[in-house]
Amino acid sequence: MALTTLRERKAKCNSTIDTHSTKRYAPRAMNRFKIGDHIGSGGFGTVDEALRLDDQGRVVEEGLVRKRLLDQWADDSEALSRFRREVRMLDQMSHPHVIEVRGRNLSDSPPWFVMPRAESTLKRELASGKAGDVPWVIKTFSAILSAMAYAHSERRIVHRDLKPENVLIVGGVPKVSDFGLGKRLDPNTVDLTSTNIGMGTTRYMAPEQFEDAAHVGPPADVYSLGKMLGEMLTGRTPMVGRPRLEDFPEEFRSFIDRCTQDDPSDRYANASDAEAAFQLLVSGGGQTGYVSGGQLEGHIRRWEITPEGQDHAVVKAIAQELVARREDEELYFHAVPRLPTLLVEQIIKNRPGDFDVILRAYDRHIQGGLPFEYCDVVANFYRQVFHASPDLRHRRLILQRLVEMGASHNRWYVGDVVGGLLAQLEAPEAVTMAADVIRQNPYHARWFRPYVANRTLPGPIRSAFNALEPEYGATDAFA
């Protein structure tokens, strides 16, 4: 639909509504909106033109739309809950690449909210010929990554329906929208999705989302992001499942491959981790996002050609390079936690002595304060090593670091990782070790009680948590 002038929009507007304003946009307590022409409908909502007025009825902002729940869904409790939750999520976010809420009325029947009008969507931009324009792809995808990194790490929100149609173009700026299927990563939040029900858009959905959408985490969004990047590079709508890497430019293959692994633990932990890797990639940090320097990057590229072949000479060269550069904090900080899972497993199996040096050097480099998002990178890498290494000393080191880091940085994702690791322990010696770590770190271990409260834990680990002194005078025991 062609854009109209301010005068034409004033003439067309045929109704006025009031709403409590959002704090970011209103100097006064109330916003008033005039609603104009109908633009379109789809799914659960209908969209109309809107203008914002001041208290004297003068137009102070044009280029808005009102999104309202369709009348036929006004009495549907689940549809109402999802619509209201989407608006509340959006209203609590403030990021240049997340669509803004200009006003809302969630008590109205049906509820509605006002947002900036989009001149296009990412889907339309791709159809218009932008696909494959690498500078444009990098700029646009970086904006989307930034928005989702903010959602994951700052607002603890998973989108669950990322796709080009849900990225709006407003004034030339990409903005993530449509959080109707979003969920909060909060153990105290009730999810509206029943267990074992898939939801989302199948072409972009992670495998685990088909089975149990209620419990997916940030890696599910990372999977969708990888599928979207592939579509932006080729212009082809993706098929269900893992993409064919040979369809993409070589320099992006490793990144897309990591995003779209079938196992969530093999992907980037969240969009913050993916954003860091992508920025390294596009800034010249190497095809796979490793810090360049020495021969490490070349060795890894050679390993990637035939990783299943377990070329022991290449694995040995990579391990020895890392051992030789164990004092290089920058290399270890960026490269070690982003090593491919299979490569880490091969080093552990074929070069156990070298891996012991590598792990302890890495752990030494990450002691102390860390950027919040990087805590998730550490947790994901340490979970990977915990499962891959049979060495009980490595498992103890990992639990000690994660328990200290999770509590001192107040990182919910680390809490989830530790809770999952403890619940999976079965071997008596590993259970005893974990219980010792809890008893020896009571100050930090207390922080993890909410993250293990609803998990089935081995008896000694449960007893170790119960033996911790209650915090803030609380007397309830962890059951």
Specify the pLDDT at position 181: 67
Q: How far apart are CA 253 and CA 258, in angstroms?
A: 9
Q: How far apart are CA 330 and CA 280, in angstroms?
A: 13
Instruction: Take residue 132 and report the two structure tokens written for it.
Output: 């494959």
337-342 own/partner pairs: CB under 8 Å, 24+ apart: 337/362, 337/377, 337/378, 337/380, 337/381, 338/277, 338/288, 338/289, 338/290, 338/377, 338/381, 339/300, 340/258, 340/288, 340/304, 340/307, 341/265, 341/266, 341/384, 341/388, 342/307, 342/308
Measured between alpha carbons, how far apart are the two ends of the chain, in Å? 60
**What's the order of all strands across the beta sheet hosting 173-176?**
120-121, 167-170, 173-176
- Residue 234 buriedness (CB in 10 A; 0-12 / 13-18 / 19+): middle
Q: Where are the domains of the chain?
A: 6-116, 120-277, 295-473
φ, ψ of residue 177 to 5 degrees: the values are -135, -170
**Better-scored residue on pLDDT, 239 or 46:** 239
Q: How far apart are CA 230 and CA 256, in angstroms?
A: 7
Q: How far apart are CA 354 and CA 312, in angstroms?
A: 13
CA 465 to chain centre: 30
**Better-scored residue on pLDDT, 89 or 11:** 89
Specify the pLDDT at position 400: 96
- Looking at the whole model, is its pTM more than 0.85? no
Q: Give the percent of the chain with pLDDT over 70.
A: 82
* pLDDT over 70 (residue 215): no
Closest CA to 126 of 216, 227, 259: 227
Task: Say which CATH topology domain 6-116 has.
Answer: Phosphorylase Kinase; domain 1 (3.30.200)
Mean pLDDT within 210-227: 84
Q: Is 311 helix (H, G, I), strand (E, B) or coil?
A: coil
CA 213 to chain centre: 15
* pLDDT over 80 (residue 458): yes
Whether the Cβ atoms of residue 414 and residue 217 lie closer than 8 Å to each other:
no
Query: Which residues are within 8 A (CB) of 357 and not within 5 positions of it... i.e. 6 or more apart?
Result: 323, 326
Q: Which residues pair with 176 in a beta bridge?
A: 98, 167
Task: Say which CATH topology domain 120-277 has.
Answer: Transferase(Phosphotransferase); domain 1 (1.10.510)
Specify the pLDDT at position 214: 64
Specify the pLDDT at position 465: 94
Task: Give the gyration radius of the chain's Cα atoms.
Answer: 25
- Per-residue confidence band for 191, with pLDDT thresholds at 50, 70 and 90: very low
Specify the pLDDT at position 438: 96
Closest CA to 422 of 377, 459, 385, 467: 459
Whether the Cβ atoms of residue 23 and residue 34 lie closer than 8 Å to each other:
no
Mean pLDDT within 94-118: 85
DSSP codes joined into one string, 215-257: G--HHHHHHHHHHHHHHHHH-PPPPSSS--GGGS-HHHHHHHH
- Per-residue confidence band for 200, with pLDDT thresholds at 50, 70 and 90: low
Specify the pLDDT at position 470: 62
Mean pLDDT within 187-206: 54
* pLDDT over 80 (residue 469): no
